[in-house]
Amino acid sequence: MHNIKEIRNDIESFTKSIKKRYIDLDIEEIILLDENNRKFIQKKESLEKEKKDISKSKNKSLFEKSKKISIEIEKISKLQLLAKIKLDNILSSIPNIPHNDVPIGKDENSNVEISKSGEIAEFNFNPKSHYKLGEDLDMLDFDLATKTTGSRFVFVKDKLALLERALSNFMLDTHIINNGYKEVSPPLIATADTMFGTGQLPKFENDQFELKLEDSPERKFLIPTAEVILTNTVKNQIIERKNLPMRLVASTPCFRKEAGSYGKDTKGMIRQHQFYKVEMVSIVEQDQCLNELERMTDCATKILDLLKLPYRKIILCSGDMGFSAEKTFDIEVWLPSESKYREISSCSSCSSFQARRMKARYKNENRETVFVGTLNGSGLAIGRTLIAIMENYQQSDGSIIVPDILRSYMNNIEKINKN
């Protein structure tokens, strides 16, 4: 959420910055609504003052007049509220402004590779896709999921289910023990207000699974990522500086409609309506955002290092970043069956963009109350890590070697074989 005061004070630089996002924005309308809103506020407040003075005077002869003023106030309030709602609707649908470090570009073609890591394995046979491997092992069942639930779901069974569980524990342990994150097991359902805080609402309502609630005007949603619920733990709060940075990690299912991606990645587990993800969230002092982003991204890549999976790190360009982000690193893991890198983690700094929406603040060193900085990153997406392990560790006979680091989490089995 942007500060209308800042926009008003420097319309030109705001317009220039937001252009980097390649969105349509009617700045004239914003300015007009803002002016109207303030005009009505002034009118309303001068009437309120008048009314207050009458009431203070306790002069009975003026009481009748006061009643009339009340009616007038009500009329103007309605107009003011209308302008304010319209203005807020527009403001709350404008994405965050990209940081200066961020390359300018319209879509993923302008993303920039920063580094590559790990050895890409040579296969002396044709590497299979994860879904072929999984189906042959009888440990991934997409048809069964279609029968019970619908498309874009999967049954993970047997040793692959164990692998999935092991990954969750391994990642959590690493972030808790080595990276200073505090484990949280959060609710998987969030209120509309919470969804607004991190930027899922109002603009991305179509991507969310909403629960059907009887007899209640309240709206509730399945979380699309633990970022939503973890970041909002500080909403409507003034945090003590000594408690910053706050680092939280959770392993949760995530639910996404994937609207607008029909026909994309329909085969296999790449794009599902439900998947597990280990999510890191940091709440920091504003000026620490970029340092924390580097740190968080390292926490994510460390997992891939330990799993010995090849990956690359890229920085997203201005047009490809998520709504709330000012700067984002994506980590992409190598998938032999596709001979390309696929996203497995996304780490973003949201500056104070979400904090403003959530009203999450802290007292800085000058004892001023200011908005915190928020960051989130996957560490990592479990489903996609499962895929990457299957494909990169596959053998010619269709079995899958268990990475060393995971064996203690998997009853010390070394290989996943067909039963």
Among 16, 19, 49, 415, binds RNA (CB under 7 A): 49
Provide, rounded to whole angstroms, the least separation between the CB of residue 43 and RNA: 9
Of 58 and 264, the one with the shorter C-beta distance to RNA is: 58
Among 9, 13, 70, 89, binds RNA (CB under 7 A): 70
Among 33, 54, 167, 222, binds RNA (CB under 7 A): 54
**Using rule CB under 7 A, residue 5 touches RNA:** yes
CA distance 320 to 314: 12
How many residues touch RNA under the rule CB under 7 A: the total is: 26
Buried b (16+ CB within 10 A) or exposed e, 192-224: bebbbbbbbbeebeeebeeeeeeeeeebbbbbb
Among 25, 31, 32, 66, binds RNA (CB under 7 A): 66
Full DSSP string of 75-135: HHHHHHHHHHHHHHHHHTTSPPPPPTTSPP-SSGGG-EEEEEESPPPP-SS-PPPHHHHHH
Among 2, 20, 21, 51, binds RNA (CB under 7 A): 51
Give the chain's length.
419
**Using rule CB under 7 A, residue 219 touches RNA:** no
**Using rule CB under 7 A, residue 55 touches RNA:** yes
Q: Give me the long-range contacts of 404-413 (CB less than 8 A, separation at least 24).
A: 404/308, 405/170, 405/306, 405/307, 406/163, 406/166, 406/167, 406/170, 406/307, 409/165, 409/166, 409/167, 409/169, 409/170, 410/159, 410/162, 410/163, 410/166, 411/162, 413/159
Among 16, 19, 52, 415, binds RNA (CB under 7 A): 52
**Using rule CB under 7 A, residue 58 touches RNA:** yes
Of 81 and 259, the one with the shorter C-beta distance to RNA is: 81
Among 48, 88, 141, 205, binds RNA (CB under 7 A): 48
- Binding stretches for RNA (CB under 7 A): 4-5, 38, 41-42, 44-46, 48-49, 51-52, 54-56, 58, 63, 66-67, 70, 216, 218, 238, 361, 367, 369
